């Protein structure tokens, strides 16, 4: 990548997304650090050193997505990081609305943002898409293992990340020349939910894993699911 490469990060005002924006700026990218709240978001990204520009982007709002794509113009790296975790762990007791809200952001938001920025990414010499997923979206664990490993993360959340993983694979198949991968960041201390708020994991460590996928060479993998430290995660 040249030092004029550009990257856009969704949900860059805090947590893992803010750290991804910071590290990409350190790598010499022009970073469009986006957030849904125009005032709080702009204030939050103002402190990130480097060529960092704030863009208002609510991934669930089609007008906001279209305006952001128009404002950004050129793009080499898209990091779909914005995500929410709502609702309980047991799907048998879940409110359908929790699933709807979760999918609006974690699945439909990624589709809307990715498709809006595809024309710009197609003009890039080295287009990269990094989807911030979760190990809790993996289908390989038994229900008991998954519950223990995730501390009972929401059923809506976990299944939304499973869908995101599938979408990652399908984009990789549909976009020759791109590198499209999903990242399992590991449990990190962020505002995502109560458990994350009490976690020890440093969000910057997970962000480094995302940046590694953003910097993949043309011989790098595509359509993969990787942990923050580069191991392959089973779908």
Residue closer to ligand NDP by CB (options 179, 188) is 188
Taking CB under 6 A as the binding criterion, the range among 45-53, 57-65, 89-97, 170-178 that sits at the site for ligand NDP is 57-65
Residue closer to ligand NDP by CB (options 126, 206) is 206
Residues 147-186 that bind ligand NDP (CB under 6 A): 185
Q: How many CA atoms lie within 13 A of 47 on its CB side?
A: 8
Is 157 considered catalytic here?
Answer: yes
**Cα 8 to Cα 46: distance, rounded to the nearest angstrom:** 15
Shortest reach from residue 61's CB to ligand NDP, in Å: 7
Shortest reach from residue 2's CB to ligand NDP, in Å: 28
Shortest reach from residue 24's CB to ligand NDP, in Å: 15
DSSP character at residue 104:
I
| Residue (of 15, 57, 51, 5) closest to 34 by Cα position | 57
Binding site for ligand NDP (CB under 6 A): 10-11, 13-17, 35-37, 57-60, 81-84, 105, 109, 132, 134, 185, 187-188, 190-192, 196, 199
């Amino acid at each position: 990548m040249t030092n004029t490469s550009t990257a856009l990060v969704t949900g860059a005002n805090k947590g893992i997304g803010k750290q991804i924006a910071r590290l990409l700026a350190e790598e010499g990218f022009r970073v469009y650090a986006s957030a849904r709240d125009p005032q709080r978001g702009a204030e939050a990204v103002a402190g990130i050193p480097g060529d960092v520009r704030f863009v208002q982007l609510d991934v669930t709002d089609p007008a906001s997505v279209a305006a952001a794509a128009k404002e950004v113009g050129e793009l080499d790296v898209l990091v779909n990081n914005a995500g929410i975790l709502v609702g309980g762990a047991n799907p048998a007791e879940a409110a359908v609305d929790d699933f709807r809200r979760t999918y609006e952001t974690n699945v439909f938001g990624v589709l809307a943002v990715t498709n809006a920025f595809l024309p710009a990414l197609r003009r890039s010499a080295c287009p990269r898409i990094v989807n911030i997923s979760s190990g809790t979206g993996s289908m390989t664990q038994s229900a008991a293992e998954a519950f223990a490993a995730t501390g009972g993360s929401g059923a809506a959340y976990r299944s939304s990340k499973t869908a995101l993983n599938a979408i990652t694979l399908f984009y990789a198949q549909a976009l020759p020349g791109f590198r499209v991968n999903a990242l399992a960041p590991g449990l990190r201390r962020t505002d995502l939910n109560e458990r994350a708020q009490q976690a020890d994991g440093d969000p910057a460590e997970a962000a480094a894993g995302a940046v590694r996928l953003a910097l993949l060479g043309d011989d790098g993998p595509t359509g993969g699911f990787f942990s923050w430290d580069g191991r392959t995660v089973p779908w």
